[in-house]
Homo-oligomer: A and B are copies of this chain.
Amino acid sequence: MTDTLPIHDLVGLVQPQLDRLNRELILDLAPGHREMLPLVEHVGGFRGKQLRPVLTFLSGIAVRGASHGGGLGDDVVTVAKVIELLHTATLVHDDVLDGGSLRRRIPTVNQMAGVEVAVLLGDYIYAKAFHMAVQLPDPTAARWLAETVRVICQGEITQVLHRFDLAWSEARYFTVIAEKTASLYAAACRLGAYYSGSSEARLRALEEFGLELGIAFQIVDDCLDLDGDERIVGKSLGTDLSKGKITLPMLYLMQRGPAEAERLRSVLGKSEAEALRRLHSEFPLEHAIAYAMEEAQRRIAKAQASLSLLPKGPGRDALHQLAGFVLTRRL
């Protein structure tokens, strides 16, 4: 189940496309006024694993099977760029929401240039992404991604409205993480396949793959916030607790009875350090993490099973391995 292959081996298959994407994104974001250039360049430094464009490219390759001939069309690269920009815009705004000061070890936009510039720069990047999407002759990506961003925001707003809500349920947790996180993974896979001429059945299989992978990714993220190694994860941990976000391991602990739920309530809203210390010392956190990771494993197994509809080939193999990687990541 767990696959220890480092991600860069999997990415090799799409390295040329990824290099092109990163080269072009710098030019695409070029602002009309030179004083904005440092901001735009700074945001380029947030570049991480770039899982979403990798999924778009691998999905495009996977639907063609062994006979793909190596060629992904220009439109697939455009779609991947749009998705990476949309993701970047959500990061810039997420940092405003969390009051975060560091992202990938460099200052957040709000830290560097203030909340006002960060809100506006996020809007700027969203607009740039939509503008790029509507240049495509086929409007499918623009339509799908506008709806996806709406769903992402809907999920995030719902999460904010239910912080500190002890009546929160697993069903609603899964809905919210599907909306706020997995929907963009699902779109990345579906649209990579669509713009590579996929059949409807394969589109749907890849969309499900992305959705389940995205849900697993968020579950692991939520576990790392409670149980990760801060030096490896590269961001401050315990923020879900201090913000009152109730994630899957917390839901497990709350299910152990009303008294336990009440005790947990007293941990929420504390400082990150105190909340983490109390959670580790007063609750069976290991069981809670194991419970959540089992759910993530089931999601990854489901994602991998959905690949059976695709033709055998290096694209399908790489997606299968990538899904396994989600469970072993420590950052």
| Segment from A122-130, A201-209, A263-271 that makes contact with B | A122-130
Instruction: Tell me, rounded to whole Å, the shortest Cβ–Cβ distance linking A93 to chain B.
Output: 5
User: What would 27 A/B residue contacts be, using CB atoms closer than 8 Å?
Assistant: A32-B151, A33-B154, A33-B158, A35-B158, A36-B157, A36-B161, A93-B119, A93-B120, A96-B115, A97-B115, A97-B116, A113-B161, A117-B157, A119-B119, A120-B157, A121-B157, A126-B149, A127-B153, A128-B146, A131-B143, A131-B146, A131-B147, A131-B150, A133-B134, A133-B146, A135-B143, A139-B142
With a cutoff of 8 Å between Cβ atoms, the chain B residues found around residue A32 in the complex are 151, 154
Instruction: Tell me, rounded to whole Å, the shortest Cβ–Cβ distance linking A47 to chain B.
Output: 21
Contact B123 A97 (CB under 8 A): no
* Interface size class, chain A: 35 or more
Contact B161 A35 (CB under 8 A): yes
- The oligomer's copy count stands at 2
Instruction: Tell me, rounded to whole Å, the shortest Cβ–Cβ distance linking A231 to chain B.
Output: 28
Q: Summarize A's interface: helix, strand, loop or mixed.
A: helix
Interface string of A97-126 (1 = CB under 8 A from B): 100000000000000011111011111101
With a cutoff of 8 Å between Cβ atoms, the chain B residues found around residue A150 in the complex are 124, 127-128, 131
Interface string of A184-219 (1 = CB under 8 A from B): 000000000000000000000000000000000000
Instruction: Tell me, rounded to whole Å, the shortest Cβ–Cβ distance linking A128 to chain B.
Output: 6
Contact A146 B161 (CB under 8 A): no
Contact A97 B124 (CB under 8 A): no
User: 7 other contacts beyond A36-B158, A127-B150, A130-B149, with CB at 8 A cut-off?
Assistant: A35-B161, A96-B119, A117-B161, A120-B153, A126-B149, A133-B134, A134-B139
| Known contacts A134-B143, A151-B32, A158-B33: A97-B120 contact under CB 8 Å | yes
A75 at the interface (CB under 8 A from B): no
With a cutoff of 8 Å between Cβ atoms, the chain B residues found around residue A152 in the complex are 127
- A142 and B135 CA atoms in complex are apart in Å by 9
- A157 and B119 CA atoms in complex are apart in Å by 9
Closest to A116 in B: B97
A156 at the interface (CB under 8 A from B): yes
Contact A124 B154 (CB under 8 A): yes
